[in-house]
Structure 1
Amino acid sequence: MSGPTISLHIVVAGTRRSWTREEKRAILAEAESTTASISSVARRHGLTPSLLFCWRREAWDEERAALPAPVGLPTRDESAPGGAIEVELANGHRLRAEAGADPALVRDLLAALLDR
């Protein structure tokens, strides 16, 4: 038989690509520094805008986790004679200062609990 021959090549490629932390940071930096839209930066790198937004949210979460624990608002302990304040930190530490406590000592203790 003579005639045209047809060759068929099937290529199966994974749809997932793994990006290194450095690649993600570089793409995020490009998205922050350019006046182009997030969508255009994503298309340029072959990813979806939603993935780029997800990476940005993860980067913000990492930055937030690296910040020192915030100080809770002091509460007044009405049951203590003479009054007292209690400060509860986000990391679980609690500082209770009775009325008349040295303010400099309280400040230094808070700084130590916050690892500053």
Structure 2
Amino acid sequence: MRQEILIGVERRRRWSDEQKIRVLSEVGVDGATVSDVARRHDVTRQHLYQWRRWLRQRSPAGDRGVRFLPLERVDDETVPSGSCGVTRPGRVDIVLRNGRSIGVMGDPPDALLVRIIRIAETA
């Protein structure tokens, strides 16, 4: 039986929770795929999927960091280009921390908004 002995610095890296969340938040920003982000940080795609699963299990089902804030309706002329706010009458654009945005028309129930935001943040 033949064995190989590896000598040198340990290849295994340790990632803090904050680092994992920061890396995961890059997925989907400017069209970046899981493969792109994995290559950028020199990890496998499977690492990112495992980290995503770990993050989902760590967060309680009811609280995923989704918070609702009161909004004021403003005129289209007062909203600077590229910012979030009312873009058309009855439409609100929500920009998430990971850079994705969601356009909402009308007044959907809170439960539906929470579900949409969760899907957009974890996709």
When normalised by structure 1's length, the TM-score is 0.44
Structure number with greater CO (CA < 8 Å, separation at least 6) is: 2
Q: Rg larger in 1 or in 2?
A: 1
